[in-house]
Chains A and B, each alone.
Chain A
Amino acid sequence: MRWFWIDRFTEFTSGQSATAIKTLSLSEDHLHDHFPGASCMPNTLILEGMAQTAGLLVCEHGGFTKQVVLAKVSKAQFHFEAWPGDTLTYRAQVQSIKDDGAMASVTSHVNGQLQAEAEIFFAHLEQLNSRGDKLELFDPYDLFSWLRLLKLYEVGRDADGNPLKIHPHMAESDPHLRSSAVAAS
């Protein structure tokens, strides 16, 4: 199983808000194992999708260079179950971003109805590896590939409303972009 709990972004404004969708399919294994005979989406995985939506919003604000981890869910309410065939729409709103962490409010809707709401905190870690280099939580190229699958650079906007540019840290991880940058210079 791959730990991707959003399918793509449909809206993304740097440092402010993001909307992502997750469509549920009966072919997903976890739907059958949670409550046998009642294949609803586990709330914990909905929360993970909400956290991924907000977490990437926080990560992007730091140019994908900071170690952002889910630190605390201070509130989570689920109003009804989500079932195969439903599309969950997660909307994250940044409440505050500081040097040491961030807070976001996130909702989940199904067919326009509020399905879940949460308040999520993220911490910025400052871990170093044994050589004293900054530890990366994700391989930058894997992360960049994921961001492209999520259509971040297709729908993303910076705070001024301009299309989101590929972040230097992400561009450096891609051999094709690196070689075109060398050819251009």
Chain B
Amino acid sequence: MPVQQAEVFEKVRNCLVDALGVDDDEVTPEATMVGDLGAESIDFLDIVFRLEKTFNIKIPRGELFPEDILSNAQYVREGKVTSEGIAQLKTRMPFVDLTKFEADPRVTNFGNLLTVQDLVNYVQSKLP
């Protein structure tokens, strides 16, 4: 892991420990936010506040967690994200690997998609 990425990871880890009340060793790059770390919807707001303060960055609403796409009938049919929706997600979330989700794009699977590494990638993309 490059030095900057390691530093970013450490700070993201501290944010998640404070926000979610999890132990340091639970926060691994591969850990999923919802499934492994037990994050709930209000926790994401908490995490956004902490990341903004820690890294002195601005995180516009919907940029890190684009829930508006998942609630838009244009992009969701019969509980699955359409190819048009997937394209939107790829544009809005370049920091996330959507390969697995594309194979089974049920909306219910989306919540468990985001990993700690995705957060690190996102923060790095916001840093100068």
Contacts and interface: CB of A to CB of B under 8 A. Distances in A.
B49 A95 contact: yes
B53 A95 contact: yes
Contact of B49 (A75, A96, A99): A96
A86 B80 CA distance: 58
A74 interface: yes
B41 to A, nearest CB: 9
Interface in A54-110: 71-72, 74-75, 95-96, 98-101, 103
Interface in B15-51: 18-19, 21, 42-43, 45-46, 48-49
A74 B45 contact: no
B7 interface: no
Question: How large, as a class, is the contact surface on chain A?
Answer: 10 to 19
B61 interface: yes
A50 interface: no
A75 B18 CA distance: 8
B84 interface: no
Main SS at interface, chain A: strand
Contact of B42 (A75, A95, A123): A123
Contacts of A96: 49, 52-53
A85 B52 CA distance: 41
A9 interface: no
A77 to B, nearest CB: 13
Nearest to B58: A98
Contact of A99 (B19, B43, B46, B61): B61
B45 A101 contact: yes
A121 interface: yes
B45 A71 contact: yes
A66 to B, nearest CB: 14
Given A72-B46, A103-B49, A98 B61 contact: yes
B43 A72 contact: yes
Contact of A121 (B21, B45, B53, B61): B45
Interface string A93-135: 0011011110100000000000000000101000000000000
Interface of B: 18-19, 21, 42-43, 45-46, 48-49, 52-53, 61
